[in-house]
Structures are given as C-alpha cells and as structure tokens.
C-alpha cells in the first residue's frame, strides 16, 4: 500500500488514465488488512496467529467480458493491469451493461463505539479464550470436547475506477465461536454459540452466560427425548427467523442467482405474492452498526436499504452493477468480495424481517400439538429447499410450552413456508453471528434479524 492516501490516489489515477481507453471499464482495488486468529480445542492451541496482508486486484471489462488479476506486490501492478485487460478483451463478445452510478470521492471509516481490538495484545486475547474454555469445561463432567475460536480483522480498502470514483473505506470486524460436546455412553450432543461485532472489543468480553448456555444445552440434551417426526405448527425464535430469512430466502434474492437461472428468475417474478400481507423483508448495508454495514460496496455503489418483500409481495432483489444493468433495475450496493483475491459478487448485507403485531405469548394460542424451536446448530439449503437444526426445542401442547425435546430439524420449501406464516411476533433481535459463504468466498460478515414467527405445516425431523 502506498505510504499516504495522496500517493495512492496519484498512482492509481495515473494508471487508470493510461490504460482505461483500452477497455469499457477499469477498476483498481488496493487492500491492507491485519488480523488475529485463535483456535483452542480443549487445552490444545491449534491456531495462534497475527498477520498482515497487503495486495490488490484489477478488474477490467470489455464488451461484457471480465478480466481479473490480483497481486500482493505493488511493483507488479502494471503487469497485472495488462493481464486483466488482455483477459477481458479475449472473452468479451457482447455489450458491457453496467447500471450507472455517480462517481464518488470519499474517505470513510466505520466508527467504533469502544476499544479497537488492535489495541489488545495477543496474550490478552488468548487469556479471554482460555477463560471461556474453562467456563465450557466447568459446566459438567460430561463435557468431553470444547472449542473456542476468536478472530478479528481490520481492513482498509482503496477503490479507483475509470469513471472517476476514488474511495477509501475502512472497518474492523470481530467474531467468537464456542462449542461444547457432551457424552453419556453412546449418546453425544453438542451446543454452539456464535457472536460478532463491528463496534467494540468489549462486546466479546462479557459472554459468560452465553458460553455456559452452550455447554448446558449439550448436557441437558443427553437426557431429553427426541422429537417425534411429523408435520407441526411451529413457533421459531428471532435467531432462527434471521437464519431462515438469510439462508432460505436471501440467497434467492441475489440477482446473479436469478439471472443465471431462467427458471428461478421466472419464480422470482417481481409482483408475485410470497406471504401474508403483514410480511416485510429487507436487506441493506445502510443501517449502521451491524456486521453487514458499510458506506460503499466493492464497486463504489452507495449502501442502500432494499425492500425485498412488501406486504407479502416480491418487490425487489439484490444487485451488482452488472446484474442491475442486465435486468434493467437499479443497483442496490450489494457487490461484495471477501478480499483482494476475489471479484465482487452479489451478496447479502444485513437481512431482516420486520416485527409484526402479535404478542409473542399469543403465537402459541390454539396450537394443540406443535414445536417451539430456538437458536440453531446448523443448516443447509439447496435452491428453494432448506433444512435447519434447532439449538433447543420444546413441544407445544394446548397452547402452552411443554416438555423439552432434542434432535429437532425443520425442513421445507422456502416459498411454501413463507406462504404458511400464520403470525408475526412483535419482538425483534439482531443476530451478529453470521459468516456467509458463496462462490468460494466464505466467512463474509453479515447481519440478520427478525421477530418470532408462527408457521403451519412444517416438516419436523426426529424419531418416527
């Protein structure tokens, strides 16, 4: 990275002026990142590292064809520009369609509300992980395996384009993951917790109750009966709602998925009803303070808030400039890349369902036999189909929460599940634990949130 912002601006401005006439679009992205990674499995230290990376990439577009070349030696930047241009000119044979945006010159930093993790020593971070490891182990002798992971990353990005944009943007991101496995004979159960922040190191310092809860859930599940597999009316908590709206619906709203799949594009037709009139779904990086928040995406498009579903009807989708141009829609500022090794692709930022009007206690009313599911252990999606594992669950009997059960998985078709939402709670919770994966770019920070939901006819896996 050049020593000063002025040096960087002069360098990339000169390079863009020199090379931009050979392509339709040219971008130079410089990146400086430093971070910490700690992983403890039981008493064993598997990872304990601090690192700094400096690099960048060149993106060139010519007649709709893209070339990408990344580098970690600034002295080779001219050769990398030549490579990206040559690649774009080799594959381009259509029309370059990029939705227009206004050129921007800006310097911006996502504000911290407390201590920057770069001010905390590696030994102090390790001590924090040790303390949480001891907490996990202290819950019960049947805890046989624990893991604690800590990660932080500070990134500074410089973007310059042939359209006149020059942006410097920086942020700090932190995350911790905890897991405890309990064993009783052949019975094994695991509890997990994850949290993250773009605000302050202090957000990771007082997680004792959350950490112990992970271990306590694992121990408690050893003696719980498995849920009887069936189709139930289900009430899910805000954390599972956030997971559902991100994994099951959010990815289908990413316009590159739809553009590359004509069948999905037909299904995701704007104006189609997907849920009850009360249902409102949004995605956006503009709301401040969340892990998916920023001022500009990795193409220099300003952050927005995009309504995806309004009154139960699909009204929007998430775009890069290219997908917006090809579908003749407005760019939404959702082009993101994990780091300089990758091209920006359409990604979610913070995705949420707005709270409704039903008091949470009333969500259980009139359910003769159902399931109440909270938190999550894991999940997977395949197109419009999803399966999620609940972190903890209870039966619902005669409108009341009854006995706890384990091994609860929720499966279904996202479109049918949205249509089957019977009531939306008046509560809300932001889950900052998300690390999203797509196109080989795994662990991209995102936020998700929502209220409790009551959904009918959900397939719940368990014992048959």
Q: pLDDT tens digits, residue range 105-150?
A: 999 999 999 999 999 999 999 999 999 999 999 999 999 999 999 9
**Looking at residue 27, what is its pLDDT?**
98
Query: What is the model's pTM?
Result: 0.95
**Looking at residue 70, what is its pLDDT?**
97
The answer to whether 37 and 49 are in contact (CB under 8 A) is yes
Of 352, 322, 391, 435, nearest to 88 by C-alpha is 322
- For residues 194 and 376, give the distance between their C-alpha atoms in angstroms, rounded to a whole number: 10
**Looking at residue 2, what is its pLDDT?**
57
Distances 325 to 47, 68, 96, 284, 367 between C-alpha atoms, Å: 44, 20, 9, 19, 47
**Looking at residue 377, what is its pLDDT?**
85
- For residues 119 and 112, give the distance between their C-alpha atoms in angstroms, rounded to a whole number: 13
Distances 382 to 251, 259, 350 between C-alpha atoms, Å: 10, 17, 21
- Burial letters for 135-156: b for 16+ Cβ neighbours within 10 Å, e otherwise? bbbebeebbebbbbbbbbbbbb
**Looking at residue 418, what is its pLDDT?**
97
In the chain, where the domains are located: 5-221, 230-461
**Looking at residue 464, what is its pLDDT?**
41
Residues of the chain with pLDDT under 70: 1-6, 462-464
* Torsion sign over Cα 350, 306, 163, 347: positive
Q: Hey, is 213 helix, strand or coil?
A: helix
Distances 387 to 47, 178, 240, 383, 409 between C-alpha atoms, Å: 31, 22, 12, 11, 7
Of 254, 281, 264, nearest to 438 by C-alpha is 254
Who contacts 389 (Cβ-Cβ below 8 Å, separation ≥6)? 376, 377, 378, 379, 408, 409, 410
Number of C-beta neighbours around residue 464 at 10 A: 7
β-pair type (166-184, 105-109): parallel
Q: The tokens of 233 are what? A: 């009316």
The answer to whether 169 and 294 are in contact (CB under 8 A) is yes
**175 — phi, psi (to 5°)?**
-155, 145
Question: Please, what CATH class does the domain formed by 5-221 belong to?
Answer: alpha beta
User: Which residue, chain included where needed, has tokens 């709301």?
Assistant: 287
The answer to whether 240 and 373 are in contact (CB under 8 A) is yes
Number of C-beta neighbours around residue 363 at 10 A: 27
Terminal-residue alpha carbon distance, the chain: 60
**Beta-carbon-side half-sphere exposure of residue 193 (alpha carbons within 13 Å):** 21
């Amino acid at each position: 990275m050049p020593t000063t912002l002025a040096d960087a601006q002069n360098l990339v401005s000169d390079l863009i002026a020199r090379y931009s006439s050979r392509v339709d679009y040219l971008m130079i992205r410089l990146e400086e990142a430093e971070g910490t990674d700690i992983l403890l499995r039981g008493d064993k230290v598997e990872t304990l590292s601090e690192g700094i990376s400096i690099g960048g990439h060149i993106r060139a577009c010519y007649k709709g064809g893209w070339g990408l070349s990344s580098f970690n030696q600034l002295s080779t930047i001219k050769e990398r520009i030549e490579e990206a241009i040559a690649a774009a000119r080799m594959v381009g044979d259509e029309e370059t369609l990029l939705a227009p945006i206004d050129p921007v010159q800006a310097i911006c930093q996502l504000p911290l509300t407390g201590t920057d993790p770069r001010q905390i020593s590696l030994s102090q971070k390790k001590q924090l992980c040790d303390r949480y490891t001891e907490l996990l182990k202290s819950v019960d002798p049947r805890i046989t395996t624990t893991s604690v992971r800590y990660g932080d990353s500070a990134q500074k990005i410089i973007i310059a384009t042939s359209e006149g944009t020059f942006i410097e943007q920086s942020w700090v991101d932190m995350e911790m993951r905890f897991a405890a496995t309990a064993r009783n004979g052949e019975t094994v159960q695991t509890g997990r917790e994850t949290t993250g922040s773009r605000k302050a190191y202090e957000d990771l310092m007082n997680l004792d109750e959350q950490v112990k809860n992970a271990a306590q859930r694992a121990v408690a599940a050893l003696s719980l009966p498995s849920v009887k597999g069936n189709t139930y009316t289900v009430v899910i908590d805000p954390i599972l709602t956030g997971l559902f709206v991100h994994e099951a619906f959010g990815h289908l709203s990413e316009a590159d998925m739809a553009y590359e799949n004509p069948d999905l594009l037909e299904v995701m037709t704007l104006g189609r009803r997907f849920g009850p009139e009360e249902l409102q779904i949004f995605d956006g990086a503009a709301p401040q303070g969340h892990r998916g928040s920023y001022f500009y995406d990795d193409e220099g498009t300003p952050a927005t808030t995009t309504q995806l579903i309004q009154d139960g009807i699909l009204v929007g989708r998430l775009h890069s400039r290219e997908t917006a141009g090809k579908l003749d829609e407005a760019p939404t500022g959702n082009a993101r890349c994990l780091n300089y090794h990758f091209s920006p692709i359409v990604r979610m930022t913070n995705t949420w369902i707005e709270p409704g009007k039903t008091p949470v206690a009333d969500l259980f009313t009139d359910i003769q036999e159902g399931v109440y599911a909270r938190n999550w252990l894991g999940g997977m999606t395949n197109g419009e189909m999803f399966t999620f594992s609940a972190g903890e669950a209870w039966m619902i009997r005669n409108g009341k929460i009854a006995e706890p059960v384990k091994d609860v998985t929720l499966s279904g078709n996202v479109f049918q599940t949205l249509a089957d939402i019977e009531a939306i709670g008046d509560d809300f919770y932001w889950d900052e634990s998300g690390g999203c994966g797509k196109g080989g770019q795994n662990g991209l920070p995102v936020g998700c949130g929502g209220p409790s939901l009551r959904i009918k006819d959900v397939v719940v896996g368990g014992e048959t």
